[in-house]
Amino acid sequence: MAETSFVRLPPEVRSPFEVYVNGVHQSLGTDYQVRDGILCFQRRLAKDTISKKRWLIGAFGVGTYRQNDSVDVRYETDRGVRLAEGLPIMDPDARPA
């Protein structure tokens, strides 16, 4: 079974809107679905967090790289075009009903 990731849309976002993962345009129905204001991706998305240990190692010039996905949504309001950047990826244990 494929892993699923969820990202909640900001409340002001209305259709039509565009979704980008790591700067790459995503297609509705192919790359994601929308259910009750939540983007549903049929793949694992993850945000990297840097621990104190990894920060210290990096301070000495040793790189540590992990998956660090960014989900952005471009949408229009009556005030013009808006961009919601780096939307939080929901904890996999907090899946919507």
Q: What is the pLDDT of residue 68?
A: 82
Starting at the edge strand that comes first in sequence, how are the strands of the sheet with 5-8 ordered? Answer: 5-8, 38-41, 32-35
Q: What is the pLDDT of residue 62?
A: 65
pTM for this model (two decimals): 0.78
Spans in the chain with pLDDT lower than 70:
1-2, 48-59, 61-66, 92-97
Q: What is the pLDDT of residue 3?
A: 87
What does the alpha-carbon distance between residue 39 and residue 3 come to, in Å, rounded to a whole number?
14
Q: What is the pLDDT of residue 72?
A: 98
